[in-house]
Amino acid sequence: MFCSGCGQALVPGQAVCPQCSRPVAPPIPNLDFQLQNYAGKVKALSIVWFIYGGLSLLLGIIGLSFANAFLLGHFGPIAHGPWMHGDMSPEWLLPMILRFAWVFIVLRSALALVAGWGLMQHAEWGRIVSIIAAFLSLLRIPIGTALGIWTLVTLLGYRNTTLYDQLQMTP
């Protein structure tokens, strides 16, 4: 049992926390069961964030490699259509767009992997990073949307926040 104010370990039957003098709340029935159930949900969520980050990186690399080869003319004359001879020279525009896309793919994948790691460690920053990643992935229909909604439902709300805080205090 732990103090709800400072997190100090308490002896069963103690009326006041010896560190912060806060009255000890009576134990919540079935808290251990709820905490174990919630820990399983958070672990599954972190594993899915790892998978999502890895797949995003892999598919992004494949897609951008194909786009780079297509735009540089490795697929024949179809890559040199009439849109290549406009006012804006694509010699500097296309490499700039591809570099931006590479950076975007790497950052999005890194955010998903960091979110998974933070949830696996039950860190407070991991919860915050996961919520940010969930909001950013809502527009990635259908898997990103489903993962974002699952993350927000699992991590937001008073009950879930309290359970996540309890996860941080347990070894």
pLDDT digits (tens, 9 = 90+) for 128-148: 999 999 999 999 999 999 999
Segment 25-45 shows an average pLDDT of: 85
- pLDDT digit string, tens, across residues 78-128: 445 555 555 555 566 777 888 899 999 999 999 999 999 999 999 999 999
pLDDT at 117: 97
**Residue 122: which region, alpha, beta or left (left: phi > 0; alpha: psi -120 to 50)?**
left
Q: Which two tokens stand for residue 81?
A: 């259509």
Chain centroid offset of residue 61 CA: 20
More confident residue, 26 or 162: 162
Given pLDDT bands bounded at 50, 70 and 90, which one contains residue 47? Answer: very high
The residue type of 39 is A
**Confidence check: pLDDT of 32 > 60:** yes
> Per the omega criterion (within 30 degrees of 0), is the bond before 142 cis?
yes
**Confidence check: pLDDT of 35 > 80:** yes
Q: Please indicate, yes or no, whether the overall pTM of this predicted structure exceeds 0.75.
A: no
| C-beta separation of 154 from 45 below 8 A | yes
Given pLDDT bands bounded at 50, 70 and 90, which one contains residue 2? Answer: confident
Query: Distances in Å between the alpha carbon of 23 and those of 5, 8, 18, 115?
Result: 9, 12, 10, 35
